[in-house]
Structure formats: C-alpha cells, structure tokens
Amino acid sequence: MKSVFLNGQIVPGESATVPIFDRAFLYGDGLFETLRVSKGQPHLWDEHFTRFSAGAKVLGIALAYDSTGLRKEVYKLLDANGSADAVLRIQLSRGVGPRGYSPREAKSPVLVMSTHPLPTPPPSWKLATTSFRLPPLSPLSAFKTGNKLGHVLAKAEAEEKGADEGLLLTDGDHVGEGTCSNLFWIQLQTVCTPPEQAGILPGIMRAAVLRACEQLEIPVRQTTTRPDTLDQSAGVFMTLSTFGIVEANILDGQELSRSPITTKLREYFETPPKAVGVIL
C-alpha cells in the first residue's frame, strides 16, 4: 500500500489508522475533495481548496493549512508515492469527541490525503433515473460532506439497472445531478444544466465547463428538466473532476442523441493550454 498524509506526516498506508470513535466514522462529520493529478500537478487546485476551506468553515472544523501550505504537502505525498498521474483524495474529520451529536468537545481534527490510480475515462455512460431525491435548500449541498448515503444508494440502484451512473431527482421531480457528477444537456444549440438552487453540488468541473462555453461563445442556460424530456435533447453529458466530460449514450434504456457540441467541449479540455487551467 502506498503512503498517505496523516495530520502533517507522510506514513505507510498500512499503518495509518483513525480511531473508531472518530466523528467522521460515527456520523459522517467531515468533508472531502477528490481531484485529478496529471504530470504532477493537481487540476483546478485553487477552486477545490476554496470549496474545501469554505466547507470547513461552515462545519466549524479547524483547517490547519492554507492553500499554499497544503499544496506543498500534496507535492510531498505525490513524490513519496511516485504519483505523477493519480486521483488525490483529501479528507477532513472533526475527530474524536464525547458520544452524542454535539461537536462542542471535538477539538482534534484529522486531515488525511491519499493517492489512487488514475482510471481510464470511459467512452460513454449509460444513465438510469433513481428513486432518490436531493434535499431542498440545504446549505450542505454546496460541499462534499461525509454524509453521502443517498448518493451511495442511488449508485447501487443504478448499477442494479445495468447503468454506469445514476441520476438523483429534486423534490419537484426534475433531474438534479448524478451520484458523482453534474448533468448537462443540449437543447437548441444551448448547453443547459440545473441551477445550484436545485440542491445540486456546484461541481468544480461544472464551473470549468461553464467558463469554457463562454470562451467558445456557446450559449448557456441554467434551468431544470424532467427525465422524460431529457431523452429528447440533442445530447447529454456528465462532468466530474476525475474524468472531465463523459458523454451519455443511454438513459433508462433509451438511446440518446449525441451532439457535436459535446465533442467540441471535450476537445477543448484535451488540447492544452487552456485558460481554465486543466488538461483532461
């Protein structure tokens, strides 16, 4: 097992442990970020750290590093593992405290970072609508908290249907997001995506695509749609930090149209250099 970063130290993964009374284990009381590393550089680091630190502030968990300091630790970990291309996972827990929900006496946060093999991007995804709903108007929707059980079960449901990714709906039965991705569809040459007010996670790659559309002069609309109208669009794709853009070819067993706009956006990120700061 490769080395991990644990509270300021690079240690062997097999000897890195977290107490069984850690609140992230007991209650999901923490945050995480997942980002792609290519040629030794973490993609969109500033954006990921900004969301991570903002989430820590909302949860009231002390973060011992600023952006520059934590990035230095990332480089140390990548060097220790010889990981020029990897998936980087950052996890912050409130740590151990007295039994019960109150976080008042939990004053020893745990910060962990680990690297994982970079998966090969899939050529396309089969999507399935799931029975799970996004919580409306939750301030936690803006962050990757440790409470992702709804997304976990939605993923399991989608996989049982033979799909690669599951779609969670809003309370209004509109499509919100994927279990680990943001949703886009193309309608009348316009790139559409649900607004943040729908309860979605404002994904880092989602924001990069919106900036790319502005650069490429592609019209954008933040709106909602239902699953039974999504398959009538000119194209559907999902975004996530590990893969970038993944085109969807099937939704609930129905074949989806495929748009040249999706191809144009994917090529935009595959060809360096780009103003958005990523190579995917």
* pLDDT attached to residue 6: 97
Residues 109, 88: Cα–Cα separation, whole Å? 19
* pLDDT attached to residue 167: 98
* pLDDT attached to residue 277: 42
* pLDDT attached to residue 270: 85
Residues of the chain short of pLDDT 50, as ranges, are: 273-280
pLDDT in tens, 105-154: 999 999 999 999 999 999 999 999 999 999 888 999 999 999 999 999 99
Please give the CATH number for the structural domain made up of 125-270: 3.20.10.10
Tokens 């750290």 label which residue?
49
Domain boundaries of the chain, sorted by first residue: 3-116, 125-270
Q: Which residues sit opposite 93 in a β-bridge?
A: 30, 110
* pLDDT attached to residue 276: 41
Extended beta strands in the chain, E state: 3-6, 9-12, 30-38, 41-42, 86-93, 110-116, 125-133, 165-169, 175-178, 182-187, 190-193, 220-222, 235-240, 244-251, 254-255
* pLDDT attached to residue 271: 72
Residues 56, 223: Cα–Cα separation, whole Å? 29
Predicted TM-score of the model (pTM): 0.93
* pLDDT attached to residue 272: 54
Among 3.30.470.10, 1.10.3720.10, 3.40.50.720, 1.10.420.10, what is the CATH number of 3-116? 3.30.470.10
Rg of the chain taking only CA atoms, in angstroms = 19
